[in-house]
Chains A and B, each alone.
Chain A
Amino acid sequence: MKIPVLSTSIVLTLSTLTYAQIKRDINKPGEKPAIAVPDLRGAGDAQRLMITFNSTLFSDLQNSGQLKMVPKTVYPLQVPQQPADFHPPLNGRPQGAWLTDWSGPPVNTNYLAFGYTAVQNNQIVLYGWLYDVAQPNTGSAQLIGKVYLGSLDESGVRKIAEDFGCDIVKQFGGACLSGSRIYFQSNRSGHKEIWSMNYDGSDQKQFTDYRSITDFPVVSPDGTKIAFTSYPLLPSSRAAADALQSNIQKPRENLGTPQIYVHSLETGRKLVYYNQQASMNAASDFMPDSRHLLIYSTAGGGFSQIYMTDLDGGGLHRITHSNALEVEPKVNPKTGSSMVFVSGRGGTAQIYRMNIDGTDVTRLTTGEGDAANPSWSPDGQRIAFAWTRGFEPGNYNIFIMDIATREIISQLTHGAGKNENPVWAPDGVHLVFSSTRGRSTQIYTMLADGTGVQQLTTKGNNEKPVWSKGTQ
């Protein structure tokens, strides 16, 4: 990529430097590196977009879970906008802004993000730097020095802020959430439909319009397809449903049995999926190749069992053979060779693990309470799930288990409402989940240590979130 050089005195490296990649363990509280992020300013027409830029960058870094944000109130008055603004002290006497303004008290930061924006060729251009301010000079301090381009509007400036934030987070071993999207089920239109939003809750959009009961979305790892479960509205009742949409007294709808639907996320269109002749077919997970689906179905008669099918519903392959309810198979995204699932085979619903061919079944939860909604961490080593252990039936809280040792690493919620459907973010650091802690069911995110809870939805009831990394 060729980048037009604006200023002669600045040498910009066009890729992030990697020699100083820093890995920090976020599980050790109090040891997160501190970062100062003074508000950046824009030259000319760019300035009108800087409120969006600065709030997006700050919240992305704050929500990354990788960094401790130094409050803006303690920043020095002289804020650098480019490396040339730094002047080393001469004989112990300050010559202008310097690294120690930031590394010393009262700021006491480890890192400083700075830069500026301008308008160039009708685009907004960001010159962004990240400095390790403990270094003796600006040359060794520089971790990032990069040019970012975006359209000259709100979405363009949001994109460059997210990209810059993303590069910063990657320096600390984090993964980038920009471009990721949360799909979920909402009843705000009067029916349960699939919706999507950005991971900060912005840009909430309705995806389906089936006007029956549409639920349980799952997104393919390549980000191109979504599968979900819906009761098909049989033709004769379509008009009645339109007319009585907001009626509290439910009209007698003409609904078929629950079926699996697959849609393209690129076009939004429904793709062909042949459902089994069964009283129930439900989508549960995509295989890592994005070309097979794990489902639970009564295709074999009797209890709901776990099957694998091709993306069009062909190639049906039965995995479990039990006289108990088997639901929610979720494949290990790293290996593709094992899965966790929920089964009633031992009495109450518990989480089990087995090989992808159905062999070597092991119960993971203790048998206490009801367990549900397992979700793999991206590294395939942990699961988050909902469990009523220690609470009355129905009062789920969110737990994290190490799969190898079967040990509960942490309990992230503690009885504030029902907390269900935890799903890991692509960065392996965040979780999205639903909770009834307010007056209704809403979607929240939090860090995998249970801190940094943010409410994303407010309208209607919102549940069953899944976090897609997008198509990048």
Chain B
Amino acid sequence: MGFGAVLLELNGYQGMDVINVMIIGVFQDFRSITEILLKSIPLILIGAGLCVAFRCNMWNIGAEGQLYAGAVAATLVGVSFPGLTSWIYVPLVLIAGALGGAFWGGIAGYLKVRFQASEIVTTIMLNYIALIATSWLVTGPMKDTKAAYPQSARLLREAWVPDLISGARLHIGILIAIALALVLYVYLYRSSAGYAVRVVGINPHAARYAGMNTGRNMMIAICISGGMAGLAGAFEIAGVTHRLYQNISPGYGFEGIAVALLAGNNPMYAIFSGGLFAVLRSGSELMQISSQVPQVLVSIIQGIVILSVVTFGALRFFSRRRG
């Protein structure tokens, strides 16, 4: 934060004032807090999912595309089945989103396992495909015929994720995100299946020696991370926008990577690092409004925060290993 303040001063702003606005401002009232929590939902979901992929040494950079794939799948289901009750419809929409994301991640996983294609490259390429396909869908086949803007039809009411608190946009997704992050923690560190995922990530030779199927574990890991990103997309659609737009995600998929790294690839810590990034995101919007600090500078400050935390984490890790 000190760095950030210095940086702001250098650029001609009242450094500490801006920081104060950012920190105090985001917590100023009940509504701001619910907005932070709302922003943290996709970050926690994506971050926790990516922890699993990264632990398996699958560098999934495609959470953004998987989020869009999930959002499209959720929208398709969410507009198509009138007459279902919420109890059935909402889970159906969410599952569709998760499956959409898992499928999108699974493509990269399959290419990796079958053809040794670098998942870093393929997931990035799949991002573009997903984003452009979404644009095409909302301007073409899925376009709401009554609307002037490129957007899909509105989701049926029964498919909307219920709000957590009436009067705020915050929905019950926050509880599900936290619960799923904890489930993934148990999966990764307390279950046999998660043990195999971690062994494959650290040393595939040892994994084969232990009788593990390395390819299958890699597929599982990337599908879990894709599924979580897809779920994040479904929540954005069914919980916030209720329609599919071209740009439903302001880069949650990429920020999720930082969330996972900051959490040390531990899904439980992704709850906190996801929350922190939500604060930073809210703060950055506020900084722009109140002090006209450009977005770019805000991103730099975010970068500094990430770097310092990750560096300290890495130092701790190495000093422990040296002994």
Q: Do A and B bind each other?
A: no
Residues in B lying within 8 Å of A, measured CB to CB: none
Residues in A lying within 8 Å of B, measured CB to CB: none
